[in-house]
């Protein structure tokens, strides 16, 4: 059970970095630092959206409209941090203390 929890923890850590990269990429596009019409930029942007949007879309549906500010990645990251720290690390520590 512990190797499975460690693998899930690794995947959540990786997904955290993907969400952060998606946020930074959206800022770079919004402030015209990178050209969204470039084929490479567009393919990276589509890949990041394909990975992050399935979890961000339901969060956006329940959050109030704040104009141009999107706080859904913050809520998602807080959820990931909660799962990693309380659930996974709690089970790991509980399993190590019990065994």
**Cα 1 from Cα 8, distance rounded (Å):** 11
Lowest mean pLDDT across 25-29, 37-41, 56-60, 66-70: 66-70
Token pair 């998602």 is found at: 76
More confident residue, 4 or 42: 42
Number of compact structural domains in the chain: 1
> What is the predicted pLDDT for the residue at 41?
95
Helix or strand holding residue 85 (H, E):
none
Of 82, 11, 47, 93, nearest to 74 (Cα)? 82
Helix or strand holding residue 36 (H, E):
none
**Cα 92 from Cα 68, distance rounded (Å):** 40
2 has pLDDT over 90: no
| Domain span at 82 | 2-98
Token representation of residue 94: 């509980």
């Amino acid at each position: 059970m512990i190797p499975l929890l460690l693998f899930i923890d690794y995947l959540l850590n990786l997904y955290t970095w993907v969400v952060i990269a998606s946020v930074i990429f959206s800022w770079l596009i919004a402030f015209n630092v990178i050209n969204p019409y470039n084929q490479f930029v567009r393919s990276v942007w589509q890949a990041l959206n394909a990975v992050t949007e399935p979890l961000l879309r339901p969060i956006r549906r329940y959050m109030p409209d704040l104009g141009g500010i999107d706080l859904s990645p913050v809520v998602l990251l807080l959820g990931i941090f909660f799962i990693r720290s309380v659930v996974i690390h709690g089970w790991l520590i509980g399993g190590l203390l019990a065994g």
